[in-house]
Amino acid sequence: MLRKTLVYNNILSKIFQVPDKIVFRWGILFPVLILMCISLITLKYTSVNSSFFSSTFTKQIVWFGLGSFVFVLAQWIRIQYFQEYAFHFYGILIIFIAITYIMPVIGGSQRWVIVGPFSFQPSEVGKLLLVFVIARVLADQKGNMNEIKLLLLILFMALVPALIVFKQPDFGTAIVYGFIALPMLYWSGIRSYYLFSVIAPIISIISAFNIYIFSIWMGVLVMVIYFNQPKITMGVPQFITNIGCGILSPFIWNNFLYSHQKERILTLLNPMRDPHGAGYQVIQSIIAIGSGGIWGKGIGKGTQTQLRYLPVRDTDFIVSVIGEEMGLLGIAVILGVFFTMLYWMIVYAGIISNKFSSLTLIGFASILFIHLIVNMGMTVGLLPVTGLPAPFLSYGGSFLLSCMLILALSTNIVNHHI
Amino acid sequence: MPKFKKVQLVLAGIFTILFFRFYHLQIYQHSKYEEKAGNNSVRKISIHAPRGIIYDRNGIPIVDNRQIYDLAVIPFDVTSQFDYQMVSKQTGVSSSELQEKITRGKESFHRFRPVPIKRHIDFETRSHLEENKLSLPGTIFSEFPARTYPDKAKLTHVLGYLRVVMDMTASIPNQGLEYKLGDVFGFSGIERIYESILRGNDGTEFRLVDIYGIDHGVYQDNPGQQPVPGKALHLSIDSKLQSLIEDLFSGKKGAAICMMPTSGEVLAFVSAPDYDLNSFAGPVPIELWEGWNSDPEKPLINRGIQGLYPPGSTFKLLAAALAKEDGVVDKNWTVNCNGVYTLGDRDFHCWNDAGHGTVNMDEAIYQSCNIYFYQLIQKLSYKNWTGMAEKFKFGVSSGIDLLGEKRGLVPGRSYMNRKYGKWGWATGNLLTFVIGQGDVLVTPVQVAQMMNIIATRGNTKTPHLLLDSPAEKISVSLKPLTWDFLQQSTWDVVNHKEGTGKAAKVIGSEVHGKTGTAQNPHGEDHSWFAGYLVKDNIPILSLAVLVEHGGKGSVEAAIISHKIFKYAQKNISL
């Protein structure tokens, strides 16, 4: 009995600790409050037709309340716990997102793990776990590993879950998984040229769709290689590899992408290609935003939104609603407060000397950043429709909870170290 | 530069790019997208202006509006409880076809758009379907303006019918007016001639419509325009007289036109057989149209203005008028009729084989002696005779306000030369012309107009159907003696005991007239009667009645005319 209690206590003390202090870091929190306000106002008017309890507005308030509770609870978490067990979490992550393959197909994809009446999307919280493991690996380095090997290791660790979720298929989350490693690598001190060399083949593949863009890109590539790669024996193969990627591009297009993903990319290149099909959402979103003007049409008065020309207005395209009803002003506020939040996260990451904590902050900032950029880029037709929600704006319980958790853990880290 | 500054700088750069994309859309291209958003959600709804009602001269409505409906279904709203059987029973569309249409609609992107099920259902069917609205989710009705004909008088050829604008290049009669697809327009008859009066102006309304097509009320920023209803038309037709004549013509072919001689107002206009304007609404069904077209009775032809007939003996009045006017023969000039007249090697017959004996001009008219006129025409100038025919408005269109009027034919010298060659015709032809046979062709309205001219001593007006319309004055100047003679002899036709038009006589009123028998190679002769009724020294009704294959003028046409005069005696006054 006693032993059991001791073990139990032992586990508890590993996970939890009494925080030294609880300070609200308003540089991070204030933007979130503003974003939540904007989100709730918008949802209030997009859900006028549903009853109070079933409306997205009410539900979002409940989720936000729940998120605030999680925020407070998370202050008691011992942050080193994630460092110590990072590899275990990584294993669990891989297992869970792999399990989705034996789960039933919902809405054309297998993203959920369903146990009895409960279901959850492991890839959601998995973003955080991936941050932890990458931060752990990078923090463990004391200059004893070849930079390139380290780079490839980290990329491998990120790409394994990224490929799994890509096949679910969940293009958006795969992008998040693939992306968050890059800022963290940069932050850990990897040479920029190496990072460039890793990204270059991806750009080569994408730019191969247009021969002119591809030519310009090749020019840039040659310049960068020339100025950064002292050894010709390394530079020439690198260049040839990039050209090869470009040539392989059609092969990848034909064999690796799902038809709906191809459709979305083609639509991005030309939304009018299929105005009633894949391009429809983007066209309506652009019309909504463009018609909003500087001041917007007024809250609850957007014709695109309220007359339902704009699809999925509560979640993926909530930024378009804001653009239509609150105008450029609303957009500027969103961009402004978001920038403030990320700015302070980077500032804190720069101050904190603990490598793991610092990298974790950068990883968290990357998650929020990539979501926002991909989402907003999608609403204005700059990026393909991937279904990534906008942090703190889009309706959606589990996503809001994981965003709040990111915020909570960031606050926890900052309070622990500063 | 510290690392975190670099990262912040990159971040700021990316946010700026994003901001400028929004700036570009919301400021630079704002007006373009504002318009597009408007195109999305603001629907310009056309509000039908009700078409003008058409009344007869006494204010009795003869053409009115009614609504018929198009039934459509919004596939998205159709649920499993949709009663296919009911719709099928009410509309005659098979339920398997219905099911297929709706299933296809549900799969399409436009599942919120109405799918047409049945056009032109009547109010009763609609009410029936509306009562069962709960088992018919997703059904909607759209209104379609149609005409209804509440009066017993059919007046088919005068009223004409409407058509729907199917494509903008099709023959729309009034190019000056603006039409949209689906609008109706007057395709024939009065409906066409007075389209610009009857039509009115459609109003517009701007409404907010969501993606499902659900209406969200009037768009506040643009109030639109109220419809201007079409103006009512008052026709000069007397609908009671009209329906009386229509009844008289039942089972017969022919035409009858009654006018008020002093004003040229048309009181009745019958062309038989006709077709039923109530038998269709909207576009004429193709079976119906082909049926009318292939009907040997030719119901589509408006015999009153398009039927060309030899005028028969009614034409003798022209030669008589000319002889009187020019003083070619004196009062005592007589002709002995023994039933046949020989010119060269050809025999010309009188209708009375026994002959009329010695006849003067008056007798020749009321007994309708041919022999007299065979001889008279040889004393007259051919040119003057055609001139007299033109004075009485033969060979030219009467100018009545209907489309498609035929001019008929008064064969002049140049026409004869063209047709038969200079030496191909001779006096023999003129002998047939003078009694209204041969190449001479007239329309019933022209014959009626001749009666207007005689009855008013040359002071009448262009025949017209619109009451109180400024009709053109017609003045024919002849010597008073000539008028006296024409009026006297036509009186004799009806009132003399040997007159051929005795059957038209009405006791208590002064009736004038002239019978005619138009020979016709296709069967029994056509029967003519043309005349007028004088009440209190004022001619109040002129008429021309033609019964195809009706035999001698004194029979069919005169009997019909008699009934018309009797009605007019009681009911018509200035």
The CA-to-CA distance between both ends of chain A, in Å, stands at: 40
Task: Compute the radius of gyration of chain A from its Cα atoms.
Answer: 23
pLDDT of A229 > 80? The answer is: no
| Separation CA B263–CA A97 (nearest Å) | 97
Question: Quick one: average pLDDT of A233-255?
Answer: 84
In chain B, which residue's Cα lies nearest the Cα of A280?
Answer: B109
Q: Is A269 a residue whose pLDDT tops 60? A: yes
Is B25 close to A286, i.e. CB distance below 8 A?
Answer: yes
How would you class B245 by CB atoms within 10 Å of its CB: exposed for 0-12, middle for 13-18, buried for 19 or more? buried
CB-nearest partner of A291 from B4, B33, B208: B33
Neighbours of A26 (CB within 10 A): 12
CB B474 within 8 A of CB B392: no
* Beta carbons of A307 and B211 less than 8 Å apart: yes
Residue B486 CA: distances (Å) to CA of A1, B173, B234, B396, B502: 141, 42, 34, 22, 17
Q: What are the angstrom distances between the C-alpha of A48 and each of A301, A303, A397, B214, B462?
A: 12, 14, 20, 16, 69
Pairing state of beta strands B233-234 and B54-55? parallel
Are A290 and A268 in contact by the 8 Å Cβ rule? The answer is: no
- How many C-beta atoms surround the C-beta of residue B470 within 10 A? 9
Taking only the tens place, the pLDDT of each residue in A62-106 is 999 999 999 999 999 998 899 999 999 999 999 999 888 888 887
Partner B contacted by A239 (CB < 8 A) = no
Place of tokens 């389209």: B195
Task: In whole angstroms, give the CA distance from residue B521 to residue A225.
Answer: 106
Confidence at residue A278, expressed as pLDDT on a 0 to 100 scale: 61
Separation of CA A62 from chain center: 23
Residues of A within 8 A of B15 (CB-CB) are: 335, 338-339
Residue A342 in contact with partner chain B when CB distance is under 8 A: yes
Taking the Cβ of residue A319 and every Cβ of chain B, the question of whether any pair is shorter than 8 Å is answered with no
Distance from CA of A328 to the nearest CA of B (A): 6
Specify the pLDDT at position B214.
67
Q: Is B40 left (phi over 0), alpha (psi -120 to 50) or beta?
A: alpha
- Nearest by CB: B3 against A287, A309, A350: A350
Q: Which of B18, B26, B32 sits opposite A294 (nearest CB)?
A: B26
- Kindly tell me the burial class for residue A128, based on how many C-beta atoms sit within 10 Å of its own C-beta (0-12, 13-18, 19 or more): buried
pLDDT at A102: 84
Please tell me whether residue B398 adopts helix, strand or coil conformation. Answer: coil
* Chain B residues lying within 8 Å of A286, measured CB to CB: 25, 33
Please name the member of B12, B22, B210 whose beta carbon is closest to the beta carbon of A307: B210
**Nearest residue of B to residue A309, measured between CA atoms:** B211
Please tell me the number of Cα atoms within 13 Å of B206 on its side-chain side: 12
Q: Do A309 and B109 touch (CB under 8 A)?
A: no
CA–CA distance, B487 with B184 (Å, rounded to integer)? 48
Q: Which residues pair with B228 in a beta bridge?
A: B201
pLDDT at position B121 is 83
A280-310 confidence digits (pLDDT tens): 888 889 999 999 999 999 888 888 888 888 8
Pick A346's closest partner by Cβ from B8, B109, B211.
B8
Helical pair A192-207 and A232-256, crossing angle rounded to 10 deg: 40
Contact in structure between B241 and B521 (CB atoms under 8 Å):
no
Chain B CB within 8 Å of residue A306 CB = yes
Nearest CA in chain B to A378: B18
Q: Is B232 exposed, middle or buried (0-12, 13-18, 19+ CB in 10 A)?
A: middle
Backbone angles phi, psi at A49, to 5 degrees: -85, -15
Helix (H) or strand (E) holding B195: helix B195-199
Model confidence at A28, in pLDDT bands (50, 70, 90)? very high
d(CA B336, CA B343): 15
Distance between CA atoms of residues B337 and B357, nearest Å: 5
CB contact under 8 A, A380 and B21: yes
Whole-model pTM above 0.90?
no
**CA–CA dist A118, B241 (Å, integer):** 86
Query: Closest chain A residue to B17 measured between Cα atoms?
Result: A377
Q: Give Cα separations from B145 to B130, B281, B287 (angstroms).
A: 19, 9, 22
The pair phi, psi for residue B45, each rounded to 5°, is: -100, 130
Question: What's the confidence (pLDDT) of residue A354?
Answer: 93
Rounded distance, CA A323 to CA B22, Å? 8
CA nearest neighbour of A331 among B37, B19, B14: B19
Distance from CA of B102 to the nearest CA of A (A): 20
Confirm if B359 and B372 have CB atoms less than 8 A apart.
Answer: yes
Q: Nearest CA to CA, how far is A290 from chain B (Å)? A: 4
- Out of B3, B27, B40, the one facing A303 most closely (by C-beta) is B40
3-state class of A359 per DSSP? Answer: helix
Interchain proximity A339–B37, CB inside 8 Å: no
User: Higher model confidence: residue A244 or residue B453?
Assistant: B453
Q: Any idea which residue has 């793990």 for tokens?
A: A113
To the nearest whole percent, how much of chain A has pLDDT over 90? 45
Interchain CB distance below 8 Å, B34 and A277:
no
Any chain B CB within 8 A of the CB of A39? no
Dihedrals φ, ψ of B163, to 5°?
-130, 165
CB contacts, 8 Å: A309 with chain B: 37, 40-41, 210-211
- Residue ranges per structural domain of chain B: 40-73+144-235, 239-281+290-571
- Indicate whether this complex's ipTM tops 0.90: yes
Contacts of A310 (CB under 8 A, 6+ apart): A284, A285, A288, A302, A304, A317, A320, A321, A324
Residue in A307, A339, A373 closest to B12 by CB: A339
**Weakest mean pLDDT among A229-233, A368-372, B47-51:** A229-233
CA distance B109 to A208: 33
Fold topology of B239-281+290-571: Beta-lactamase (3.40.710)
**CA B440 → CA A285, B264, B311, distances in Å?**
77, 24, 7
Q: How far is CA B120 from the centre of its chain?
A: 24
Its CATH class, for the domain covering B40-73+144-235, is: alpha beta
Kindly state whether A338 is in contact with chain B, defined as any CB-CB distance less than 8 angstroms: yes
Tokens of A84: 């110590």
CB environment B364-385: b (16+ within 10 A), e (fewer) = bbbbbbbbbbbbbbeebebebb
Task: List B residues 192-221 in contact with A (Cβ-Cβ < 8 A).
Answer: 208-212, 216
**Type of residue numbered A98:** A
* CB proximity B40 to A under 8 Å: yes
Distance between A74 CA and the closest CA of chain B, angstroms? 26
Q: Establish how many alpha carbons lie within 13 A of residue B104's alpha carbon, considering only the half-sphere containing its beta carbon.
A: 9
Q: Which of A277, A290, A382 sits opposite B32 (nearest CB)?
A: A290
Q: Give the model's pLDDT for residue A91.
A: 94
Name every chain B residue with its beta carbon within 8 A of the beta carbon of A335: 15, 18-19
Spatial contact of A399 and A389, defined as CB atoms under 8 Å apart: yes
Interchain pair B32, A323: CB under 8 A: no
**C-alpha closest to that of B302 among B158, B450, B147:** B158
Which residues share a beta bridge with B233? B54
Q: Which residue of A has its CA nearest to B15?
A: A335
Q: What is the dihedral of CA B480, B483, B487, B493, to 10 degrees?
A: 130
Helix axes B480-495, B316-326, angle to 10 degrees: 140
Task: Rounding to the nearest 10 degrees, give the CA dihedral for residues B344, B348, B353, B354.
Answer: -50
Residues A167 and A258: their CA atoms lie apart, in Å, by 9
A199 and B CB contact within 8 Å: no
Tell me the two tokens of residue B544.
Answer: 């021309």
The percent of residues in chain A predicted with pLDDT above 70, rounded, is: 95
Residue B180 amino acid letter: K
How buried is B350 (Cβ within 10 angstroms: 0-12 exposed, 13-18 middle, 19+ buried)? buried
B1 CB within 8 Å of a chain A CB:
no
What pLDDT sits at residue B61? 93
**C-alpha distance from residue A385 to each of A163, A168, A357 (Å):** 18, 16, 33
Is B423 part of the contact surface with chain A (CB cutoff 8 Å)?
Answer: no
- B8 inside 8 A of chain A by CB: yes
Paired residues of B215 in beta bridges = B209
**Cβ pair A101, A148 in contact under 8 A:** no
> How far from chain centre, in Å, is Cα A261?
18
- Tens place of pLDDT for every residue, chain B, 574 residues? 788 899 999 999 999 999 999 999 999 999 999 888 888 777 777 777 889 999 999 999 999 988 888 888 878 778 778 888 888 888 888 888 888 888 888 777 666 677 788 878 888 888 888 888 778 877 878 777 788 898 888 899 999 888 877 766 555 555 567 777 777 888 888 998 998 889 888 888 887 777 766 667 777 777 788 888 899 999 999 999 999 999 999 989 999 999 999 999 999 999 988 988 888 766 677 888 888 888 888 888 999 999 999 999 999 999 999 999 988 888 788 999 988 898 888 888 888 888 888 999 999 999 999 999 999 999 999 999 999 999 999 999 999 999 889 999 999 999 999 999 888 888 888 899 999 998 999 999 999 999 999 999 999 999 999 998 888 999 999 999 999 999 999 999 999 998 999 999 998 889 999 999 988 877 888 999 999 999 888 999 999 999 998 876 667 899 999 999 999 999 888 7
| Residue that is written with structure tokens 């009321």 in the block | B366
SS3 B307: coil
